[in-house]
Structure formats: C-alpha cells, structure tokens
Amino acid sequence: MSTSDDYSKLAEKCYRLASEAKSEADRIACLELAQGWLEMASRQDEAAAEQIAEAEKVREPEASGTPGPQARLGWLQRLLGFLRYNP
C-alpha cells in the first residue's frame, strides 16, 4: 500500500508539471491531479491516526481520557506548503 509521503511526492510532481504547463488547460489538469493526490495523502494520514488510536486503546484499556488524534494536514494545507517552498 502506498504511504502518505508517496502520495505527497506525486502531488508535488503534478504541481511542478503545472508550473511548466504550456496551456491553461494543462495547468488546470495538473493542479486537479495534485489536489487528488493530496486528498489521498490526507486520507492515508487519517487512516494511520485511527489505527494508532485503536492500537493505543487496545494497549491501555484503563486509560479513560486519551487525547484525540494528532492534528493532520489537509490537502489544501499541503498545497500551500508546496507553493511556499516551490516558487
């Protein structure tokens, strides 16, 4: 199964292709692909966080007030990160 990092790398590649696109249609298509990959990365992060939370429940059933899953970056936040780091 692919990891969140794999999906993020694919999104970054699509973003780079969008910045090099010759036409507006190609640029938009690449950005839409990047968005899709970032959404997949976000879903993968959520699934991993849920698995960790479940594992912690099994490991420590007596803990009553366990903290919620760690904050996750959504696809839009990741895209904005690419924009900041890739002029």
Would you state the pLDDT for residue 85?
Answer: 61
Average pLDDT over the chain, rounded to an integer: 78
Contact 15, 34 (CB under 8 A): yes
**35-75 pLDDT, tens per residue?**
999 999 888 888 888 888 777 776 655 555 544 444 455 66
Q: What pLDDT is recorded for position 62? A: 52
pTM above 0.75, yes or no: no
Q: Among 31, 41, 38, 30, which residue's Cα sits nearest to residue 2?
A: 41
Cα dihedral 50, 10, 15, 80 in deg (nearest 10) = 20
Other CB atoms within 10 A of residue 29 CB: 15
Domain ranges of the chain: 4-61+69-85
CB-based contact 47:2 (threshold 8 Å): no
Q: Which of 2-6, 65-69, 81-85 is predicted most confidently?
A: 2-6
